[in-house]
Every structure is written in C-alpha cells, then in structure tokens.
Structure 1
Amino acid sequence: MAPQPGQGGRVMRSGRVLGDGRYVLDRCLGNGGMGHVWLALDRTLDKPVAIKLLDMHRIRQRNRRPALTEDMHARFEKEWQSMARIDSPYVVAIRDRGEDAGQVYLVMDYVDGNSLATYMGEGVSLTLEQTVRWSVQVCEGLADASDVEVVHRDIKPANIMINERGNAKIVDFGLARLLDMSETRGAGAGATWQYAAPERWDNQPGDHLSDLYSLGCVMYEMLTGNPPFSSRDGDILSIGAMHLRRMPVPPPKVRRGVPEKLSELVMNLLAKKPEHRPQHARAVIRRIRQVEHTPVAGADGSGPLVPADAFHVNTDYVERIQELERRIRELRLRNPESHPSVVEARFELAELTGRSGDSRGAADRFENLGEDCKRYFGPGDPRALDAFDAMARWIASPS
C-alpha cells in the first residue's frame, strides 16, 4: 500500500505509531473526502482495530475557510463522545480518540468483512432472507442510537458493514455532521446524497426519521438492485429534485418476488414528510418481521404453509442459510472459486434460498452459479447445465 499524505504533507506509512505507542498502523483500508481509514494493532489489547484519521489540512484547503477546521475540531470532540455512548451489537463501537500532528482520529472496532455496497448495485439485488436480516439489524442499531439521542445522518450501503458471521454493523455515526459544516460538496458526495431525506435537501439537519428515510432507500436497493432515484449523468441536483417531489416505482413493479408488505413498508419509509413515515426504528422492525413465516409443524412434520404465491422468509431455514454463507466464505479463503467444495456449497445455498420462500432469489443464485460454471469448466459442463436447469425450475415456481 502506497504511503498516504497526512497533515501538511506528512506521510502515513505502515508501522507508524499513534496514541503514545499504543496503535501501530498496518495498512490503509480506504480513502475518503475527510481522510483515511487504517487497519492497526492495539498493542495494549493485542487486537486489530480500525483507525479513522480526519485530515484537517485537506479539509481546510478544500473549503478555504481557516476557521472551519477549528470549528470542526471542536465538533469532533463533541461528536465522538456521542458516538461512544451507543451500545449496540449492530453499531461499530468507538473505543478511543486522539490527535497526531494535526490529524484527529477515532479508534473503533475492526470489522472483518465488506460493506453492503459490495453485495449489490447495478441491478444486483439481495435475497429476501438477506434483506430481512440486514434491514432488521440496521434498524436495531438505529433504535439503540436513538435511545441515547444520536442520529447518523448518512445511512447508505457504504456505511453498513457485513462481518464474517454475516451480520450488519453501522459505521460512522455522527461524522456526517462534520461534513455538513462544509460550504461545498465534493464530487464523491453524489453517492451519499442518493440516500438523503427530502428535509436534508432543504438544508435541515435531519433526525432519526431522516435516518429511516435513508434506510428505506437502502432497502429499495436491496430489493431491486438500484437506489430509488438516480441520474444517468450523476447530476446531484436532479437526484435532489426527485427526492423532494417524486415517489419511486414500487419495488414489485421493478423486480418480481418482492412481498407486498415489504414493498408497502419501503414506500412508507420514503414518504416525503417525516410525520408520514414510521415513527421509530422498532416499529419498522415489527413490520419487516411480518415477511417472516414459521411453519407450525404437526406430529408428522407437516404444518400450515403460507399461500404458494406469497413470497416470504421461512425462519426454519435462516440459521442454515447463514451457516452456509459462513462456510462458503471460509472455503473461498482456502480455495479458488472453481474448487468443487465451493461450487457444491453454492448449489446448496441456492436451493435453500428457494426452499425458504424466495424463488426469485434462488433463480438469481443459480443463474450466477451457472454463468460462473460456464467460465470455469466450459458451457457444456454438467454443473453449468444443472445450475441453469435449477434456475428455470425456480423461475417457474410460484413462490
């Protein structure tokens, strides 16, 4: 990893020590408009942590307002204390903060995983089980933050991490308030503003209901593969006008297989006026759970099922799906994608997805698997043909 510039051109390198020798930088995990995120070793606890360094010099240069940096420094001190109050398994915990040569930094738990943004986009949607699981977990995190009167203000796929166990964790609570002090928006802000509530476009600070609107945008993308509003040329003002004045096409009209109750919830979350949205994250959780179905088994293992044409999530399969996801991740760490163990596990996961009540998700998984098998083994390989046969079977299935 190339060295990253810091305050006044100061270079951050692997091996650099922060916090009076406690934290040793390992590698840069990502760059942003406000600085860098590094993987580091906490020598005191002997564990990996993530360190977000805010480059005040860069922010001052970008905004041409010397006083802004001092204002942001004071705000940073206030915000990190607010973030540290959040106690939730679905929010990345803030452990420490400090300053080094003009750079203030936050120390937080390291999440071994990828952002939600890597799982979808450009027409790629999630399965119903993933959508329900991660939406509920994000809601739990928002609810826990609301309990201590903390608002995120920048809920988007890039700020939702999926860890190695397949669970969601929210990052960057409060940092959007620092960006709000900027007079101008950088070119990279467009993706963030695809998920911003109408009141935020009206220059209002927003509250927990604004976070729920942003969650609605994320859920819309989970279900359809695209945010509710976008512009071909990336024009931010056009996107803003849509958030202010237009309602998106309901998810079932964009992509087959979306339960009506889930679609209604998403459209409620996207209401233009905050008072017309669900009023608390826990109310949203209750409505998401309505998509789940637990069969009541009889003595012979049979039990009542939902109607055949009703898309749902059968909770009997959730643990097996999550376990398979974890096993596939571990197999991929040890083997190439074409290894028989990886391919076999993906077949099993696709089939379980269909059995859980998500025929569309199963068809998508089998289609991706078939295309991969064609590339690995050739178009006539039995594994590719089996995957496409299974895809056709689930497409024809009513649920």
Structure 2
Amino acid sequence: MDGYNVLKVLGEGSFGRAVLVHHRISDQKYVMKEIRLPMSSSGVENSRKEAVLLAKMKHPNIVAFKESFEADGHLYIVMEYCDDGDLMQKIKHQGGNLFPEDTILQWFVQMCLAVKHIHDKRVLHRDIKSKNVFLTRSGKIKLGDFGSARLLAHPMSYACTYVGTPYYVPPEIWESQPYNNKSDIWSLGCILYELCTLKHPFQANSWKHLILKICNGSYDPLPSHYSYELRYLIKQMFKRNPQNRPSASTILARGCLTKLVKNFSAVLLGNTDLSHGHRRQWEKRMSNTVLDVLENASLLSSSFTREETESGGVINYSENGPRKQWNKEPPQTLLDMLSNADVSLAFKTYTIYKPASENILKGPLSDESKASDEVDGEHEAVVIDSERLEPRSDEDDTDFEEDDLDWVSELKMALKQSG
C-alpha cells in the first residue's frame, strides 16, 4: 500500500473489497481491488489470474491495468478509475426516461470492440453485465471485472467451471451445454436490451421460471420508437442456438454500426477495413486491432452445410434440406432442484441468497408488474420468437468453448449450504 492513500470504499464482496485510492507520486486516482488470498497454493494461483489477464487486456475500451502486488495475505490489483460510474447506475438514474438510440449504439459499439478484443485473445469473460461496464466522463465505455474470466490456451481447449450472473446466463448453460464465446454475446445482448428498456429482458418470480423464460426466449418487445435494425440485432443476439448468434466482429460489420466503428477506430485504434472476404481461422498470433479483426468479416452467409454431433446441437442441415430446431431443454433434475429454492436475488455473481420471507427473484432492474411466471407466451406483450429456433450459418465465426457440465453439482452444493 506504500504510495497510495485510501479515499473511500467503492464496494465489498466475498472476494474482499474495492477502494478508490490516490497515488501520491502521479497525483492520479485509481481503483484498488483487495483480494484475500486463500491458504492453498492452487487457490492463490487462481486468485492471481485476474491480475494476469487484466495485464494482457490492453485496449481503449477495457479498464486499464496499472500494477499488482501482494502484502499481508492479500493480493492488490491497481487499475484505471472510471469516473462516471457503471452502466447499471446510469440505467437506474434514468428514472424511466429512455436513452436515445444514438447514445445506446455509441456505448454498444465500444462494448463490442472490447468483447472482440478479449475473444481474439481466446478469453471468455463469463460475467458480462451492466454492472461490469464502466464509463468515463469523456464518454468512453470500459469493460471491467475479469475475476470470472477464463483464458483458453487453444481454440478447442476445455475448462471445467462455470461462473456468472443468472439474469445474464444464456440457455446453453441451463441446458448443460458447453460455454463458449457466443455465450458472452448473449450476455452482451442482455445489456443492449437493458439500455433500450431500462429493464432485464427475462424476469420471473422464481429461479425455475427465470430459467424457463430464458430457454424459451420469452421477452417483452422493445419500445416502438427504436429502429428495425436495433430490434433485429437483439433478436440475433438472443438466438437460442449459440452457433446462430453473431460474433462480435459480425455485429461490428453491420451497416448500422460500421460508421460508428470507423469513428472510434480512427480516434482510438487507427483506420478500420470492413471489406468482406473468406472465413478466417484462429491463428497462433491473434490480431490486436480492429483493422485486422474486421478485415475479412462478412455480414451473413448465403449457403451452408454442417453436421453437428454434440448433444443439443443442430443435426445434418443444409441450405436445401429441412430446417431443424435446437431441441435441448433444461435438465429436469435442475428444475426440480430449483423449484423450492428460496432465493431473492439472481443478479450477483457466485451468490445465492436465502430471504427471510420471500421466494422471488429481484434484480436491480426488476419490474414486479412484469415478473410473471408465465412462460407459455399467452400474454400479448411476451414475444416467443420461433425464428430464433431456426439455424443460421455464420461462417465468419470460429467458436471456442469450454466444457462446463459440472456446474450443476456446484449449484446443488450451494443450495444445500443455504438450506
């Protein structure tokens, strides 16, 4: 802590706390994350991963790493201070007044640039949510909190642990499918929806019905004044089959966003080439600029032929053949396990809460009038998009994923401990 003065506590959690500090030599403000180190050596290494990953993520739209050090059984990570709060705070402060579409798209493009950068480095964030997206008073968006991120050594590498925040968890996780970069895209879509409506896209009164709504794709439509392009973009990001969701590069190549991408890249990253070309494969050395990232990105593919042998996948479809549906459902054991779980919050990472008298889910943007447990789409305001179940080829994307089939047992253990 030498050289730093603590100004105030910004937040506390199971990991430790985050404080605003003043660096005496540079006369700058930073955020210092103080993490209690576990006793085991493996636990210590796991705690250090956030500092290691953050140090590698050098990008104008990612919270900048300054330094890290250990002292008195704690790991300290010093990072950039974003002086205009986070997106969750910004949304809550709107008081029901919707954001202009131009503002939403300016923020969203910057988020996509950050997500594209980490995916280029084969990093899964795994906890993208509005509370982890920060703002500066100069108008920049910064993706932060890499405490849940996972670095994969190879595109086909598999990991074994799932973390995240239930309101932003994609269908494939509840369906016991592998977590991949397209799962981050779903979470990004949840933020985009929140910016448009000031509400969570999926709301329910229980864990069970929240999961069913996510897996059925039941969400209220956007306010009517938003453009067709914006509505279509959210629809694509909420595709139930992760293979059919666009990658960050495909999103950035959309016509409604290319001008904004060029503006940001001209200021921050140099000129961006959005020309179309053949599908690119993962390489040993990944591109670090938007120019390289989007060099060969095409918007949509005209034909496709694919066979999928993984459980829950789309099997043997082609351009001229019958279209198949993503047919995986949440495991019944999971629904049974959560049917009587007393939880009042599904917004915080890692945490399952047991309330004193309520059995409801309530996030920071929850609307009690919309938190119905109906999942069959009877209400006119609820959209169940059958097109979302249809496969779409996205040949620009080479997905990478982690095998994540053991997280259900971890959730069972957490529920047992809270009982």
Query: TM-score, structure 1 length as denominator?
Result: 0.57
Letter aligned with residue 27 of structure 1: K
Change (3 A) 1:277 1:52: same
Which of 214, 224, 229 matches 1:243?
214
Q: CA deviation at 1:77?
A: 2.3
- Distance in 1 (CA, whole Å) between partners of 2:75 and 2:7 is 18
- Distance in 2 (CA, whole Å) between partners of 1:35 and 1:143 is 29
Alignment check: 8 A CA contact 1:83 1:174 kept? no
**Identical pairs, percent:** 28
Change (3 A) 1:105 1:262: same
Q: Where in structure 2 are there 5+ consecutive unaligned residues?
A: 152-158, 261-419
Determine if the alignment matches structure 1 residue 269 to structure 2 residue 237.
Answer: yes
Letter aligned with residue 47 of structure 1: Q
In structure 2, the partner of 1:287 is: 254
Determine if the alignment matches structure 1 residue 212 to structure 2 residue 178.
Answer: no
Determine if the alignment matches structure 1 residue 41 to structure 2 residue 22.
Answer: yes
- Distance in 1 (CA, whole Å) between partners of 2:37 and 2:161 is 12
Q: Give SS of 2:239's match.
A: coil
Determine if the alignment matches structure 1 residue 149 to structure 2 residue 122.
Answer: yes
Q: Give SS of 1:194's match.
A: helix
- Distance in 2 (CA, whole Å) between partners of 1:182 and 1:25 is 34
Which of 160, 174, 182 matches 1:201?
174
Determine if the alignment matches structure 1 residue 51 to structure 2 residue 32.
Answer: yes
Which of 83, 98, 117 matches 1:125?
98
Q: Specify the structure having the higher radius of gyration (Cα).
A: 1
Which of 82, 86, 102 matches 1:111?
82
Change (3 A) 1:244 1:288: farther
Alignment check: 8 A CA contact 1:116 1:158 kept? yes
Alignment check: 8 A CA contact 2:111 2:142 kept? yes
Which of 130, 133, 136 matches 1:163?
136
Change (3 A) 1:292 1:78: closer
Alignment check: 8 A CA contact 1:221 1:227 kept? yes
Q: CA deviation at 1:72?
A: 3.3
User: Which structure carries more helix by proportion?
Assistant: 1
Q: Give SS of 2:7's match.
A: strand
Q: CA deviation at 1:222?
A: 1.0
Alignment check: 8 A CA contact 1:40 1:49 kept? yes
- Distance in 2 (CA, whole Å) between partners of 1:110 and 1:213 is 27
- Distance in 2 (CA, whole Å) between partners of 1:23 and 1:270 is 44
Q: Give SS of 2:11's match.
A: strand
**Cα deviation code 1:247-277 (max 9, x no counterpart):** 42332xxx12111111111111011111010
Alignment check: 8 A CA contact 1:123 1:226 kept? no
The size of the alignment, in residue pairs, is: 251
Q: Give SS of 1:98's match.
A: strand
Determine if the alignment matches structure 1 residue 86 to structure 2 residue 57.
Answer: yes
Q: CA deviation at 1:106?
A: 1.2
Determine if the alignment matches structure 1 residue 73 to structure 2 residue 54.
Answer: no
- Distance in 1 (CA, whole Å) between partners of 2:46 and 2:175 is 22
Change (3 A) 1:288 1:106: farther
Q: Where in structure 1 are there 5+ consecutive unaligned residues?
A: 1-17, 58-65, 294-399
Alignment check: 8 A CA contact 1:143 1:282 kept? yes
- Distance in 1 (CA, whole Å) between partners of 2:97 and 2:88 is 10
Alignment check: 8 A CA contact 1:151 1:174 kept? no
- Distance in 2 (CA, whole Å) between partners of 1:106 and 1:85 is 13
Q: CA deviation at 1:81?
A: 1.6
The runs of at least 4 consecutive aligned structure 1 residues that moved more than 4 Å come to 121-124, 180-183, 202-205, 290-293
In structure 1, the partner of 2:409 is: none
- Distance in 2 (CA, whole Å) between partners of 1:99 and 1:181 is 27
Alignment check: 8 A CA contact 2:252 2:258 kept? no
- Distance in 1 (CA, whole Å) between partners of 2:18 and 2:132 is 13
- Distance in 2 (CA, whole Å) between partners of 1:236 and 1:132 is 31
Change (3 A) 1:240 1:105: farther
Determine if the alignment matches structure 1 residue 135 to structure 2 residue 103.
Answer: no
Q: CA deviation at 1:46?
A: 3.2
Larger relative contact order (Cα-Cα within 8 Å, sequence gap ≥ 6): 2
Alignment check: 8 A CA contact 2:123 2:149 kept? no
Letter aligned with residue 233 of structure 2: L
Change (3 A) 1:41 1:243: same
Q: Give SS of 1:175's match.
A: coil
Change (3 A) 1:146 1:182: closer
Change (3 A) 1:166 1:139: same
In structure 1, the partner of 2:227 is: 259
Q: Give SS of 1:120's match.
A: helix
Query: TM-score, structure 2 length as denominator?
Result: 0.54
Change (3 A) 1:28 1:288: farther
Alignment check: 8 A CA contact 2:105 2:257 kept? no
